[in-house]
Each structure stands twice: as structure tokens, then as C-alpha cells.
Structure 1
Amino acid sequence: MPLAGIALAPLLVSPLAPPSPRGSAAAVSAEPARRRRALRRVRCSAAAASGGGELSRATLLWRAAKLPIYSVALVPLTVGTAAAYNHAGLFFARRYFGLLAAAVLVITWLNLSNDVYDSDTGADKNKKESVVNIVGSRAVTEYAANVSLLLGFGGLFWAFAEAGDVRFIVLVLCAILCGYVYQCPPFRLSYRGLGEPLCFAAFGPLATSAFYFSNSSRSISSGTVLLPLSKTVIASSILVGLTTTLILFCSHFHQV
């Protein structure tokens, strides 16, 4: 017999060695673990597809705060103030920051009252980030909204006393009125397709021009120095209004 046949003879004659009992036990014990991992992956994928599970309270509060919305307080004020500085070289830092705080308070009122009245209509019934749903009380949310509005009015009338320009307070009150009829009963014009025009008027020509006029100055020697309405202010206010309106319009797309 050739040497190769002699070497292979034991393998051909003897049966194959049985699998190791230890290896079989390890394979059997590893099978449930693999199944559990696969099940967890399936559950995670299903949760991600359905929008996730329960959100933390901190996440809900962050969403309810809607911080980007407060840019509509900053932009008209800054553009109007810049127009006044460009025209007459006037800038009053204390008045600027006081008006910024007042504008933020007014926007807070808009945000909170919107949640209050949406809860009345049932629009926010399943909206987890609604302030009313988070707090669990419509009355508390409405009270906070009204307090914010009153404090905002205080800042606005303080600025009016500083500037002495009645055009400022008239225009800014008209802008706030637009916000009221936008969402508050019995008007709720946003439900009638008038939200975008009201947004354009409030944050564009009304608010931007009002903040421009807020930079008028009053002194004992020269009396009240009123700023004239210029083409720059008109064009800037229209641009701010269009930008704000487009942002509001595009924010509805995810709800379709």
C-alpha cells in the first residue's frame, strides 16, 4: 500500500469523532441570547419608525418653549433701531434692551395664549409639547400669559415715555392687536386663512416702523425730536414682514 494510503487508513476505518458536548451546550445557550438581541433590534426599529416612545419632561419643555419664535421679537427691533441709527445716528442702549425684554414678554403671551385657546378647540388634545398639557392646568397657563402681557405693556409704555413719539405706541399696539385677532376668541382669524397677512402686518410694517419711531428723542432744551418716515424704513419693514410670513407659512408643512 502506498504511504499515502497507509496514512489515510485510520481516517477511513474509524468513524468521525462526535461533536464536543461542551461546544453543543455553548451553541444552545447562545441561541436565546441571539434571539433576545434580535428582538431588541426589532423593537428599537419599530419605536424609531413610530416616532419614538415617551419623551422626557425636559424635552417636552424645550419644545414648548419654542425658542426660535423669539427671533420675531429681536429682528423687527434690531432692524428698526438700525434704520434710526442710519438716518439720524440715534441709538439708546437702555431703551433697546428694555424694548427687547418687553417684546419677548409679548411673544411669550402669544405662545402661551395660543396653547390655551388651542386646548379649548381640541387642536392640542394629543400634542405632548403643549404647555397646557405639560402643566396640566389651563388656568395656570392663561394666568402666566396674561402676566407676561401686562409686564410687556409696562416696558412698552416706559419706552413711549422715553421717546415721546405717539406713533410708536399706536403702531406697536396695532401689532399686538393683530396677534390677538390672530388666535384669540371670538376672532381666531388664523382658522380662516388670515394668519399670514396678519403676521406680515404685525411684524413687518407695524412692529418694525414702531421700533424705528421708538428712537425719537425727548429733551428739555429741544423738546421732542421726531424721526421722519423714510423709504429705507418702509422697505426694511416689508422685507421683515415677508421673511416672517414665509417662516410661518413653511412651519405648517409638517402638519399636512
Structure 2
Amino acid sequence: MNLVSLCNLNHGFLPNKSTDLFVKPRFTSFHSRGDVITRLPLFYSKARKNLNAKTSKNLRVGPIFLKSYEDTAKVYQEEEIPKAKLIWRAIKLPIYSVALIPLTVGASLAYLETGLFLARRYATLILSSILIITWLNLSNDVYDFDTGADKNKKESVVNLVGSRGGALAAAITSLVLGVSGLAWTSLLASNIRAILLLASAILCGYVYQCPPFRLSYQGLGEPLCFAAFGPFATTAFYLLLGSSSEMRHLPLSSRVFSSSLLVGFTTSLILFCSHFHQVDGDLAVGKFSPLVRLGTERGAFVVKWTIRLLYSMLFFFGLTKILPLPCTLMCFLTLPVGNWVSSYVEKHHKENEKIFMAKYYCVRLHALFGVALSLGFVIAR
């Protein structure tokens, strides 16, 4: 039995001896461990007889969480998160950069090759991509709710709206509209390669989270994310935004492939870091993400070396002139952000309250790196 301070009990009463309390472990909503003390019926009855009526009104019958004052404050702070903030978290607006960056990098690559920028087609594709990401987010919340992974996740859309069916219907609607926009644009461009690449990207998203596959529960989420947003989506957008009545077929060069690899790396890093604060909950429902298998300490090591590999690849692509010099220089300007993400994860990987922000810092790196890469292609033109 853990030792506790009885002065932390509010509206309770002192036991005659320690055996009058029954202690059992319990997990809180943000995966911190605490102890729950429940009064045994015999002790409660005996104590109630010995107390006057006025005092007995203040007795707390339910479980009491015993933690230090600092940890208790964190529990109450977590429970009192404003609903507006929970809605903001549920929307995950910064995460939509994963729709913007592959499209923008593909557009800038097409501009470098052809000198064309098809603004209307770009607008249609970005709207369709946002709808696809909305489907991914909503359906992920629905299926994680089904397995219990999001049971205590307050910013889950299902928990916020109180309707699994409504969230699933919105997800399916977003998918249908998004696929329609992508298919219409692909048919307009008459590019079969782009259609196949986009279909492969969406298929990766489906098997990632949807039954009966749920490959994210087997630790395959990051490879699927890398393929979907990197080689598949970035290359497809490059083909669609470079097509015109004069040019239907763009070359799939080493420059296109290397750019898609860089985009895939930064995108999958976001997904990897989003699991740091969910290790206990994922393990409890059998979701064996890479961080569940590795642990947070080795996970922080992986983040550090992934970022080093990212900039090493950038240096190699620049040195071999696969990427234009402006791209290499612009992307290296984001190196301080990459080092900051690596240091933050290494320092706070054991602190759920702080490591929660790691995925948003990875979003900043992803967005800045993608914008720098795109600007480099435009300048090189």
C-alpha cells in the first residue's frame, strides 16, 4: 500500500487504522497514475454512528483520489479545460498542413518544369485534400472510440458531440466529396498515373485505421503515412498541376522522387510524435504503435536521428544537384526548428502534459520545411 497524507482528504474523516482503507490503482484521463481510496462498508457504518448529523452530511461516499497537491492541481486543471479549447483540439487545424504541403510542393515542382501554375485546379485540389484529411480525422476518432483507445480522450469528436453515428456520417460525406473532387480533376487532366497514385494514397489511409485492417494497431501507421503523403500524393499533385492541353505527361525524375521523400519524412514524424502522451492508453487497448514497442526514451532517440537523417538527405540531394541550390539553402534555414523539436522531445518525453505539444512542434517543422522547399523550386525557375 502506498503511503498517503490524510491531510489531503477533503470532507472526509480519519480512519482508526490503515486497514480501514482499501487502495486500488487507477488511470486518469491523461495517463498519470494515481490511487483511489474507497471506504469499506464496515468502517463507513461504524464511523457514521460515531459522528453527529451535521458532520455526516459532509461525508464523501464516492472514491477519493490521493495525490500530491501538485498532481491534484493538474487533475483539476485537466478536468476544467474549456469546451472551446477542446473543440479547437478536436478540429486539429494545424494538422491540415499535411494536405497543403504535398500539394504545394507538387505545384512548385510542376512550375519548375513547365512554368505553369493552374490556380483553379490548385484550389479544387486543396479543397478536396482538406475533405480527405477531415475524413481521416473523423473516422480515426470513430474507430478509436470503438476499440476504447479514445474512451478518456476529451477532445475526441465522438465524445464531444456524443454521437458515434453522426461523426461517422460526417466522415463518409467528407470522403465522398473529397474523392469526387480528386477524380474530377484527374479526369480533367486525363492523367491515369495521377489517378492511380491518389487511389493508392487513399487506400493507405483506409487500411491505416478502418476495420478489418487497422494496421496502425500493428505499428504500421508511420510507413503508411510516409507512402501516402510522400511518394503517392506529392507525385500525383505534381502530375495534375503540370498538365495542360500541350503537355499531358511530365517526367517522374529523381528530383520529384527525392522531394516526395522529404515530404513523407516530415509528415510521418508528426504521426510518430503524436503517440508520446498516449503510450499507456494505446497499450491498454492493444494498439502497438512504434512508441508502445520502443518506449518513450528510445522514441526520443528515434526522433533525434530521424531529423538528422532528414537534413543529411537534404545535404546529399543538394550536393549531387538532384535538388536545385535554392531549395537546399532555403530548407537548411529550418535547421534550428528541427534541432528545437529534437531537444524538446528528448527533454520532455516522460512528461505527458508537455510532450503533448510535440506533434504541434513537428507540424511547424513540416510546414516550414515544405514552404522552404516550394520557394526554392520557384526561385530556381
The bucket for the TM-score relative to the shorter chain is: 0.7 to 0.9
Deviation per residue, 1:185-216 (Å, 9 max, x gap): 00000000111110110010000001001124
Question: Of 87, 100, 123, which aligns to 1:61?
Answer: 87
1:202 equivalent in structure 2: 228
SS at match of 2:79: coil
8 Å CA contact 1:204, 1:238 repeated in 2: yes
1:251 equivalent in structure 2: 274
Q: CA deviation at 1:97?
A: 1.0
SS at match of 2:78: coil
- d(CA) in 2 for partners of 1:65, 1:45: 28
8 Å CA contact 2:117, 2:242 repeated in 1: no
Cα RMSD after superposing both structures: 1.8
2:41 equivalent in structure 1: none
1:229 equivalent in structure 2: 252
- d(CA) in 2 for partners of 1:210, 1:50: 48
Question: Of 84, 90, 95, which aligns to 2:116?
Answer: 90
- d(CA) in 1 for partners of 2:275, 2:69: 31
1:161 equivalent in structure 2: 187
- d(CA) in 1 for partners of 2:173, 2:248: 33
Question: Of 214, 229, 238, which aligns to 1:188?
Answer: 214
- d(CA) in 2 for partners of 1:46, 1:195: 35
Q: CA deviation at 1:230?
A: 1.2
Aligned residues: 212
1:214 equivalent in structure 2: 240
8 Å CA contact 1:47, 1:53 repeated in 2: no
TM-score norm. by structure 1 comes to 0.78
Deviation per residue, 1:32-53 (Å, 9 max, x gap): xxxxxxxxxx989842465433
Structure ID, larger Rg: 1
- d(CA) in 1 for partners of 2:88, 2:79: 17
- Relative to 1, partners in 2 of residues 1:44 and 1:200: Cα closer, same or farther, differing over 3 Å? closer
SS at match of 1:127: coil
2:161 equivalent in structure 1: 135
2:150 equivalent in structure 1: 124
Q: CA deviation at 1:218?
A: 4.2
8 Å CA contact 1:164, 1:224 repeated in 2: no
Unpaired runs of 5+ residues, structure 1, are 1-41
The 5-angstrom pairing of residues 16-55 of structure 1 reads 46-48=72-74, 51-55=77-81
8 Å CA contact 1:171, 1:210 repeated in 2: yes
Deviation per residue, 1:57-86 (Å, 9 max, x gap): 211111101112111100000001111111
- d(CA) in 2 for partners of 1:204, 1:245: 9
- d(CA) in 2 for partners of 1:109, 1:132: 13
- d(CA) in 2 for partners of 1:251, 1:87: 36
2:175 equivalent in structure 1: 149
8 Å CA contact 1:162, 1:218 repeated in 2: no
Unpaired runs of 5+ residues, structure 2, are 1-67, 280-381
Q: Report percent identity of matched pairs.
A: 64
Q: CA deviation at 1:55?
A: 2.2
